[in-house]
Amino acid sequence: MATHKLPVYPADHPVALALCAMFSSLDTGRELIETLADTAERVGVPFGSERFDEAAAMAGIPYCRSLDLYLDRQTQREAEALPFHLAHLALTH
């Protein structure tokens, strides 16, 4: 997720997606993943794409491969640390 600073970020850049989604979530009270999905869709970035995953990680909800979910960082770390068949236990804290 090495992102270089740009003078201007295009609307479909992960930084722009993450910031727009965070502001929208704060403004509306909607869940961050929902506002990120809406923001990405508006600019043609598919849900679950690499670009979407980068934006989600920047916004604090990285993709967890073992659970196939977007989670907060702490839960994601816990799930990834467990054996695959026990990863779901990270959701019980």
The residue type of 75 is T
Q: Are residues 17 and 52 in the same domain?
A: yes
Q: Quote the pLDDT of residue 5.
A: 85
Question: Structure pTM?
Answer: 0.85
35-71: pLDDT as tens digits = 999 999 999 999 999 999 999 999 999 999 999 999 9
Q: Is the residue at 1 inside a domain? A: no
Residue, of 56 and 3, whose pLDDT is higher: 56
Question: Does residue 75 contact residue 69 with C-beta atoms inside 8 Å?
Answer: no
Instruction: Give the range of the structural domain holding residue 76, as residue numbers without chain letter.
Output: 63-93
Contact status, residue 61 vs residue 71, Cβ threshold 8 Å: yes
Question: Does 55 lie in the same domain as 15?
Answer: yes
Angle at 46 between CA 20 and CA 33, to 5 degrees: 45
Query: Integer distance in angstroms from the first to the last C-alpha of the chain?
Result: 28
